[in-house]
Structure 1
Amino acid sequence: MSKLPDLEAMAIFAKVVEARGISAASTDTGLSAPTISKALARLEQRLGARLFNRSSRRLVLTEAGRDLADHAARLLAEAEAAEAALVAQSASPRGTVRLAAPMSFGVREVAPLLPAFLAAYPDVSIDLHLADALVDIVGDGFDMALRIGALPDSSLVARRLAPVPGLTVAAPSYLARRGRPPHPAELAGHDCFAYAYLRTRDVWHFANDAGETVTVRPSARLRVNNGDAVLPAVVAGLGIAGLPEFLAREALADGRLERILPEWQSLVSSLYLLMPPGRPRPARVQVLADFLAERLSRREG
């Protein structure tokens, strides 16, 4: 005998008792009469006791059947209540959403949005994981992730939200001392800073409106695995960096940095919202996905 109780047969038994017959239980449950009869026979064999005295017109509970009926009814009621609670939870936003995002982008662009979301959905909480290293969304149990850059082929559901322009920047003091390179090829002779998680780690790519492309391997005085970590060295005038626009925005606005090679574009990345495959999604996940998509999407160009 299996160590686990036959809960399906127990639930069917409870429905037959409640409906006062197999035909009525078949109508209530949508199960065929033969399926119900087989479940009852299976339960009787398992328990070693007859549960009904059967006649041509009706079923009458035996003593063993009466003893079991109350227990089966409670089990069925508890299972139906648990199922109803889970369905309600899936239908209304409630529970925790695990979200992963790149460190600097998460701090600067995502975190400021979350108070408005939490105020709008008081029954939803967010577990925000910030790291520039790629996470295993499915393996690590995340509901969704924001990711910047080219996406490898995968089974993940990807939603492109916005372009993420890359800018080449330097401090005025560096440019005064070393000069302003007129062409990307001259970056090879300058002090530069590298980002460890670039898909092409030590190679910078540029293109202009005329369709020309240039690939440069600059010497990296400092390599970091987080964009914010390079800002102090760039602002201090120690070299040139390629940074996403959101990271360089404030320093460009207040004059601590200047954009160089403006006619040459670094290859533009994109911001994606990634989720594991499968539908439907719990309401808590869907409302956060829609919220982030609305707030983070930007017009092209």
Structure 2
Amino acid sequence: MNSLSIKNLSKTYENGVKAIDNLSLEIGNGMFGLLGPNGAGKSTLMRTIAALQEPTSGIIEFNGINILENPMFIRENLGYLPQEFGVFPKISAYRLLDHLAILKGIINKKERHDQILNLLNQTNLLQHKDKAVHSFSGGMRQRFGIAQALLGNPKIIIVDEPTAGLDPEERNRFNNLLSEIGESIIVLLSTHIVEDVRDLCTKMAIISNGKLILEGNPNDAVDSLKDQIWMKAIHKNDLKDYKNNFNIISSHLNSGKLNIHVFSDQRPDSGFDLISPDLSDVYFNVLSQNQLKK
């Protein structure tokens, strides 16, 4: 059983921006979802866990080892798919994986060959092994990114915004792959796409402005909003008036009408219908509550 322990972590950049603010998390095997809006501090946290930058203060331990004092320990056990995954032009998938495997210390040629073919097969790219990676579609490139992250049999994988820009079919294929991987190691999924966390993760955290504002099981978080989410279809020109009178947590257009979701212990007015909450309601509600505290 692997464990990642983050204690009182903070990161302040030289320009004064506090990207992580006294954040603590305990993460074990399986899929862990890290949700937050753009600029919440997710990518900073991922880079810090991956020992690509040092925090201002705090402790990170992986399997009992302080990785701030021993960064090579996490690097030897880590697979990382960053948000921006660049590739060399005109190099085939097999050759690029072979090059990356050597960099990861897989010196034995047969071992390297066998592992590369297994990973290409696992990511459904074996038939494309001789094609240049830069010619791959977005979904194929993301699956290749997972293949390179799995080189060397890591015990923890970090994926940063992996499904952004993918079409629904590729997103489902990629999420199924992540789910299979997460059965025996830690997979830390950083995203702003709520559906990915709902579909994949048994544990999650929501951060905003570098602070942890919710942690737990997604289903438990949804259950906590039972009988408290109300919906009404309004004209979009009336949105300002409703914002002044009700605790609107989200709104979206549907068939030309604006559907608003309101958090309330009782019916806001006669035009509202009680609905079953989902993880999006949890996400927007905790972000809304956090904004009110400022």
Work out which of the two has the higher radius of gyration on C-alpha atoms and give 1 or 2: 1
- Report TM bin, short chain: under 0.3
TM-score (norm 1): 0.22
